[in-house]
Structure 1
Amino acid sequence: MSTASTAPREDPAAPADLIEVGHVTEAYGVRGGLKIQPYSAQSEALLGTRTWWLRKGKEVRRVEVVNARRHGASVTATWSGVSDRDQAQAWKGWVVLVPRSQFPRLAEGEFYWVDLIGCQLIGKGEHGEERLLGSVSEVSDNGAHAILHVALVVPVAPGQPTQPMMDDRGRQRETLVPFVEAYIRGVDLDARRIDSDWPEGF
């Protein structure tokens, strides 16, 4: 039986800006194809470059992608060194990474989810004044649009010291904000800021 030992070797010089963009779920077909589950509805990072890095535990390997295409909500791909189903199946569970510097440029007004994580959400106070509500900890997809998961802080004016907003069990509270024009007024990635009409009292 063929194994991953025939695949590309470990790469000790992997780029410093690697971003996890998906993982291998299973073999696809009988000729070495693989099915990749992207970590967001955006698969451009997977489709826009022909060099990926695969990681499992502490091992990182570089692969040269022969082809990659969308397949429903997944991406199917083949890469050098994998030519049959047994070899492909040996990659199941490996995480796929791509350098952030190689992500394709998006159209104006579009954003990669990974770039939104860590941004501060600015909402509105009772009298319409700006309030820092929290920071984006995660982005997910509900099938219609992206959802910002915001770790809440006690609302304060932007630039002021913050403290987490806790629930009755001592955990930081979270709110879910639809990433749509009805609530999001603007995104400034350089300032790590998302301006919204999300109310302070939500």
Structure 2
Amino acid sequence: MGSASEETVLGRISAVFGIKGWVKVHSFTDPVENILDYKQWHLLQDGRRQAVTVRESKRHGKGLVVSLKGVDDRDQAQAYCGAEIAVDSAALPALPDGEYYWHQLEGLAVFTTSGIALGQVDHLLETGANDVLVVRATVDSVDDRERLIPYLPDQVVTAIDLAGKRMTVDWDPEF
């Protein structure tokens, strides 16, 4: 079993479904069904980590419902509501050069092309047109503002250095 630093959160258990222990899953993957490619999940909740196995799953409306091995009634399922679903990062498929998983971008220091520190990527938002970086100020930032910067590689995002934990953006610090 990997440690938390070697895991990636792919979704969250949002609610119970029915009386036989099924749960509703909010998947962060695209498409949403990709979370089901992983049968072994690590549930993270209230500082605890528990390995579970997906027994059965199905599409339900726009979401997913899942039966976990050993969870056979609504009360057992209720205990998992709110848990984040993580998998070993090593199990994720490799991406082509120049493509990144969101978790790889989170935590990167963000600098303008002229070297001005804007902050650190806190998380990303999916907007439909393009993803957006939520950059929060750090002690080294030019100011204490939170910035929403479009994630547009080769246009706004000019360089990503995962090893150096740094991203360069063509962005006006006044904006």
- What TM-score range do you get, normalising by the shorter chain? 0.7 to 0.9
Amino acid in structure 2 at the alignment position of 1:174:
E
CA gap 1:67/1:111 in 2 versus in 1, 3 angstroms: farther
Deviation at 1:46, TM superposition (A): 2.9
2:42 match: 53
CA gap 1:104/1:72 in 2 versus in 1, 3 angstroms: farther
Matches within 5 A, 1:134-173: 134-152=119-137, 163-166=140-143, 172-173=144-145
Match of 2:67 among 78, 86, 90: 78
Q: Which has the larger radius of gyration?
A: 1
Q: Distance in 2 between matches of 1:164 and 1:196?
A: 14
RMSD: 3.1
Consecutive unaligned residues of structure 1, counting only runs of 5 or more, are 1-12, 154-161, 167-171
CA gap 1:43/1:191 in 2 versus in 1, 3 angstroms: farther
1:199 match: 172
Q: Distance in 2 between matches of 1:120 and 1:142?
A: 22
Match of 1:114, SS?
helix
Amino acid in structure 1 at the alignment position of 2:140:
Q
Amino acid in structure 2 at the alignment position of 1:63:
V
Instruction: Answer whether contact 1:23 1:36 (CA < 8 A) is retained.
Output: yes
Relative to the length of structure 2, the TM-score reads 0.76
Deviation at 1:85, TM superposition (A): 4.3
Deviation at 1:44, TM superposition (A): 7.7
How many residues of Structure 1 are paired with residues of Structure 2 in the alignment? 173
Amino acid in structure 1 at the alignment position of 2:3:
P
Consecutive unaligned residues of structure 2, counting only runs of 5 or more, are none
Match of 1:27, SS?
strand
Match of 2:35, SS?
helix
Matches within 5 A, 1:1-202: 15-16=3-4, 17-29=6-18, 31-38=20-27, 46-68=35-57, 74-124=63-113, 129-152=114-137, 163-166=140-143, 172-181=144-153, 182-202=155-175
Relative to the length of structure 1, the TM-score reads 0.67
Deviation at 1:108, TM superposition (A): 3.6
Instruction: Answer whether contact 1:37 1:73 (CA < 8 A) is retained.
Output: no
Q: Distance in 2 between matches of 1:131 and 1:71?
A: 47
Amino acid in structure 2 at the alignment position of 1:78:
S
Match of 1:199, SS?
coil
Match of 2:128, SS?
coil
Identity of aligned residues (%): 29
